[in-house]
Structure 1
């Protein structure tokens, strides 16, 4: 049983682990980077050595979401580009990064990534989506060499869309 599930088990009925972006950055990622997280709820995963479907069950919160820490791997030793390749595919960034605010100040950024099977640029899009949270440079501690991110990964299912199409077909008849 994961640490998150242990915490959820002690909460009253109806409460779930469903933190806002601000809480993920301020309450979890900042503590991880500052090494003040005494009771670490989330596990550490190396995204370059692990496929999305192989993420440990201990990171799973409900039927569709996983939460974990990961160190950003640089594509080149002296560069800033992040390596997001795995054995069977790669994580591709989509859209613009979204700022995470706390009390009117930008404390972090959220990047949305989609997993593609194969190699770029001819990969095949999958149903795996990940939100990668990182600290703003002003809030990260420069003495640490490690560049930690907090990830929320989910597996989209198409059942909702199929049910909606079936419901519309019934309503049309």
Structure 2
């Protein structure tokens, strides 16, 4: 599965020594994703653009913005439904959505600014893959948080729907370095536990 314990040092992005990238959920949506979708400059501009699903999570090292054992990147959502929405294939397996959306609220005014969806990585072919501890948190803007009029007025947006940008945080759940950075919320924990329970029930003899 590759050397998934190696890290991408943030100095590879020409950042000052001692810089650590540990954004909160709100910061990822408001400071990074909103500015990306609105075609505004973002400083520091350190999160790269990647295709959303083709990479195995342990292959993100050197491609995504890495800090500790967490990787961040922008991507574009594609229109999909049904099984394609539930299972997103990579080279060695697939991401399966937990199927819950968690709202992200502004700490300043309490308004909803974004949505977080959570997926788990399985090795093999769906629906009988082997579950791993790799988690992807996918952040997207709320409809009300994107200035659609501004996006439509930009000539750059004629062939690209920038409101479909997302920002992803990928990490290995339970890793010792997974501390104060990635926020595995109570909802994430509950639904991951329910998923384990479903797996156990399905394996019981009839």
TM-score relative to the length of structure 2: 0.64
Determine the structure 2 residue equivalent to 1:99: 103
Deviation at 1:68, TM superposition (A): 0.7
Alignment coverage as a number of residue pairs:
153
Deviation at 1:10, TM superposition (A): 6.0
Determine the structure 1 residue equivalent to 2:141: 135
Gap change, CA 1:36 and 1:83, over 3 Å in 2: farther
Deviations 1:23-54 (A, max 9, x none): 11000000111111254210011133322121
Q: Do structure 1's residue 7 and structure 2's residue 21 form an aligned pair?
A: no
Q: CA RMSD in A?
A: 2.8
Determine the structure 1 residue equivalent to 2:49: 44
What is the SS of the residue equivalent to 1:17? coil
Task: Provide the rounded CA distance (Å) in 1 between the counterparts of 2:96 and 2:16.
Answer: 32
TM-score relative to the length of structure 1: 0.74
Gap change, CA 1:29 and 1:46, over 3 Å in 2: same
Farther off after superposition, 118-127 or 1-10: 1-10
Q: Which of the pair is proportionally richer in strand?
A: 1
What is the SS of the residue equivalent to 2:88? coil
Q: Do structure 1's residue 61 and structure 2's residue 66 form an aligned pair?
A: yes
What is the SS of the residue equivalent to 1:57? coil
Task: Provide the rounded CA distance (Å) in 1 between the counterparts of 2:53 and 2:91.
Answer: 8
Deviation at 1:158, TM superposition (A): 6.1
Task: Provide the rounded CA distance (Å) in 1 between the counterparts of 2:63 and 2:93.
Answer: 23
Determine the structure 2 residue equivalent to 1:156: 173
Q: Do structure 1's residue 24 and structure 2's residue 41 form an aligned pair?
A: no
Q: Can you give the 5+ residue segments of structure 1 that lack an aligned partner in the other structure?
A: 161-173
